[in-house]
Each structure stands twice: as C-alpha cells, then as structure tokens.
C-alpha cells in the first residue's frame, strides 16, 4: 500500500505521533519532507542498495580507481568573507556557516515557497526588473532542485537506502556514537532498527544540538522493530535515548565502548594527509567486534550538478566526491575489513570492522 497526500489530521501540528504501525507500507509527501514507512521486510530492502561489487579489496590500487573529484566552487558568503578579512575562513567557522545555511532548507514549506517565488518572478518580469529576475530564477532553480532531491526523491535522508545499508548488524541494545552528527538522522534510524541502547551525537557546532537536531521534526516516523515482539514498529525521536555532546571529535575521551561508530558526510571533507586520522576516529571508540559505518556523497553527474546549483547553500569547506571503490580503498588501506559496501541514492555506504 502506498499513498501520496497526507490527511489534514496528520498535518495537524498538535498531533505529535501522526503515524502508527497501521501506516506501515505507506509514503506521504509533506511540505518539508517525505515520510516513508515502506519496506519493513529486509528482503525487499536489497533493492535499495547496489552492494558488494568489489570481491577483494587487497587487489585494488589507486591507479585502478583514480582520484576523487574535488568540488571547487565556494559559497559567495565564504569568498566575500575571505576578501573582506584577507584570510582563509577557518574550518570550524566554515562548518558554522554551512550548518545555518543548510538547516534553513530543512525547515522550509517547499511548495509554498515555490509558489511565492514564481509569483514574485512574474511580478519582476512584468516590470523588467532584470536583477531581481536573475536572482529569482536562481532561487527557483534551487527550490525546484531541493523539492526533487529532498521531498520527491527523498535522496538526502533516503530511509529505505539507509535501512538497506544498516540491516543485519549483530548488535543488541547497541551504544551508537555519531561523529559530526549535525541533525543525527542516521543514528536515529539505527536506534529504531536496533532499539534499547544509547545514541551519543557529537558535533562541535552548538547550532547542531540546538537547531539542527533540536528542530528535527518530532513527528518524523522512523521504521524499526519492536524488541518485544520482533515485528515492525514506528519510532519517534522522543522515544530514543539520545545524548548530544558539543565537542571536537579530537577531544573525546571515550574508551572502546561503542558497538557502532558512524559518520555521514565527514571523510570527504579531509584531504588525503588527514584521512588516516579520520579513520582512526572511527576505530578508537569501538568495542572489539564493533562496526564502523561511513557514508559519503557519490561522484555522479547529478551530485556534481547539485553542488553546482546549491553552491551558495553548501560549499563552505573542502569537499570531495568519490565512488565506492575510492571510498573503500581509504577504509581498507587504513586497516579496516569491509563487511558491506555499496551505493544508495546519493551516498556511498560502508560497514567495516578494524582488521
Ligand atoms: C557534512 S556534516 C554531516 C552531514 C550531515 N548529515 C548534514 O546533513 O549536514 C559534518 C558535520 O561534522 C561536524 N564536524 C566537522 N569536524 C568536526 C570535528 N572535528 N569535531 C566535531 N564535529 C565536527 C560539522 O560541524 C558538521 O555538522
């Protein structure tokens, strides 16, 4: 069963848990995101990941796989800031800009903004206000792209792809550490699939705790399991055990105490000289037998187009786009055994263990 339009009852902001187990199998397009409770069956999920193409990582070389693509065009806010201050924006400051800028897009009523933008564009066209027309066209393109990527395709959160990547882990009430957590989406999806443990989100930008995670919709339904019955269950953010630490990953004092250490869109922000340090962050807090999970954006023309159109929203810092072989080689070369690898809608994903 699947349907597209939500009932007014489910759009009512006072309805804190609008979806229940009755709605499993459904999807609906809401003003700011797609809710997707399809595919409780692990077998169906296999279609959402293109998995395990490389049979022996030890045979791959950088000569075979080539280098990642580097995204060069920076957001205007960053280039203006650097011209004004005559210095390079620090990495931490760049992330602060990125998080505020990206967050604005998650809280938009996208159809409403598209309507308003189109009507303003018509108004400026009739008056030959070419500067406003140019700006309005750029914004309409960004809104239309975001509408497609985040709402229609659900490519950013991609719950079915993420569930496909995360399925089958041998963990019980896991402690999950999310490095560079931003809003923490993937750790919440893991917590729904493997409930009863604890999630620790870490990000050194306080805004991520207060706004990106703080504003993450309480009404967003995560499809997971009921640990008592083993059947499918809908989980919400406020039903999970989540701790948010505002801290630099390099200052964390945890021991080897986590069953899962995850990062989403972190590795590609570090040039090769620092990749081994980033991989060490994923190793040092893992219990023996624990899982490191990493995802990075794919190098495909659609992703390059996205970072081009959305440059002023997204491009505040160093960024590479990789294919799964390149990403796997970074993980393998840094001492991990790769248990599952593949690509979902817009990201590559790897499940690995220290060798
Ligand atoms: C690209 S974001 C992660 C992608 C995320 N899913 C999103 O939607 O934005 C990476 C996050 O890592 C954080 N970060 C980067 N370096 C860090 C560090 N050394 N310590 C803690 N957080 C860090 C940034 O503040 C940022 O929020």
- Distance from Cα 306 to the centre of ligand 1, integer Å: 19
Calpha distance 25→2 (Å, rounded): 6
Note the pLDDT tens digit of each residue in 167-193.
999 999 999 999 999 999 999 999 999
Q: Is 254 in the pocket of ligand 1 (CB under 6 A)?
A: no
List residues bridging with 291 in a β-sheet.
260
Identify the CATH class of 8-60+159-354. Answer: alpha beta
The contacts of residue 197 (CB under 8 Å, 6+ apart) are 171, 173, 174, 175, 176, 191, 241, 259
Note the pLDDT tens digit of each residue in 319-333.
999 999 999 999 999
Contacts 24+ apart (CB under 8 A), 63-66: 64/325, 65/323, 65/325, 65/326, 65/329, 66/326
Phi, psi of 279 (to 5 degrees): -70, -35
**Ligand 1 atom 15: residue of nearest CA:** 180
3-state secondary structure (DSSP) of residue 323: coil
Q: Is 208 in the pocket of ligand 1 (CB under 6 A)?
A: yes
Which residue ranges make up each domain of the chain?
A: 8-60+159-354, 109-152
Q: How confident is the model at residue 1 (pLDDT cuts 50, 70, 90)?
A: very low
Residue 49: C-alpha distances to residues 42, 269, 347 (Å): 12, 24, 10
- Distance from Cα 186 to the centre of ligand 1, integer Å: 13
**Ligand 1 atom 14: residue of nearest CA:** 180
pLDDT at 32: 87
Q: Is 101 in the pocket of ligand 1 (CB under 6 A)?
A: no
Q: Is 265 in the pocket of ligand 1 (CB under 6 A)?
A: yes
- Distance from Cα 304 to the centre of ligand 1, integer Å: 20
Q: Is 158 in the pocket of ligand 1 (CB under 6 A)?
A: no
CB 95 within 8 A of CB 316: yes
pLDDT at 2: 47
Q: Which atom of ligand 1 is nearest to the CA of 96?
A: 25
Mean pLDDT of the chain: 94
């Amino acid at each position: 069963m699947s349907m597209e339009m939500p009932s007014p009852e489910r759009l009512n902001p006072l309805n804190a848990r609008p979806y229940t187990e009755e709605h499993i199998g459904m999807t609906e397009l809401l003003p700011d995101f797609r809710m997707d409770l399809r595919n409780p069956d692990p077998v169906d999920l296999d279609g959402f990941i293109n998995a395990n193409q490389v049979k022996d990582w030890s045979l791959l070389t950088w000569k075979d796989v080539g280098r990642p693509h580097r995204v060069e065009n920076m957001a205007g806010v960053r280039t203006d800031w650097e011209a004004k201050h005559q210095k390079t924006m620090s990495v931490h400051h760049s992330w602060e800009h990125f998080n505020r800028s990206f967050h604005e897009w998650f809280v938009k009523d996208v159809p409403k903004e598209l309507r308003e933008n189109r009507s303003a564009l018509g108004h400026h066209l009739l008056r030959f206000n070419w500067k406003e027309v140019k700006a309005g066209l750029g914004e309409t393109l960004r809104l239309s792209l975001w509408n497609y990527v985040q709402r229609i395709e659900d490519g950013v959160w991609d719950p079915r792809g993420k569930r496909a990547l995360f399925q089958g882990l041998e963990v019980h009430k896991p402690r999950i550490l999310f490095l560079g957590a931003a809003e923490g989406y993937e750790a919440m999806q893991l917590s729904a699939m493997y409930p009863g443990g604890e999630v620790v989100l870490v990000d050194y930008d306080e805004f991520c705790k207060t706004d990106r995670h703080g504003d993450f919709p309480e009404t967003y339904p995560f499809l997971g399991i009921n640990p008592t019955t083993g059947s499918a269950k809908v989980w919400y953010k406020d039903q999970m055990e989540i701790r948010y630490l505002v801290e630099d990953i390099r200052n964390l004092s945890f021991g080897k105490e986590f069953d899962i250490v995850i990062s989403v869109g972190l590795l590609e922000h570090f040039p090769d000289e620092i990749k081994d340090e980033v991989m060490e962050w994923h190793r040092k807090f893992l219990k023996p037998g624990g899982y490191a999970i990493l995802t990075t954006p794919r190098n495909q023309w659609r992703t390059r187009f996205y970072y081009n159109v959305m440059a002023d929203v997204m491009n505040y810092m160093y960024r590479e786009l990789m294919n799964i072989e390149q990403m796997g080689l970074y993980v393998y070369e840094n001492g991990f055994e790769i248990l599952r690898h593949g690509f979902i809608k817009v990201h590559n994903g790897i499940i690995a263990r220290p060798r």
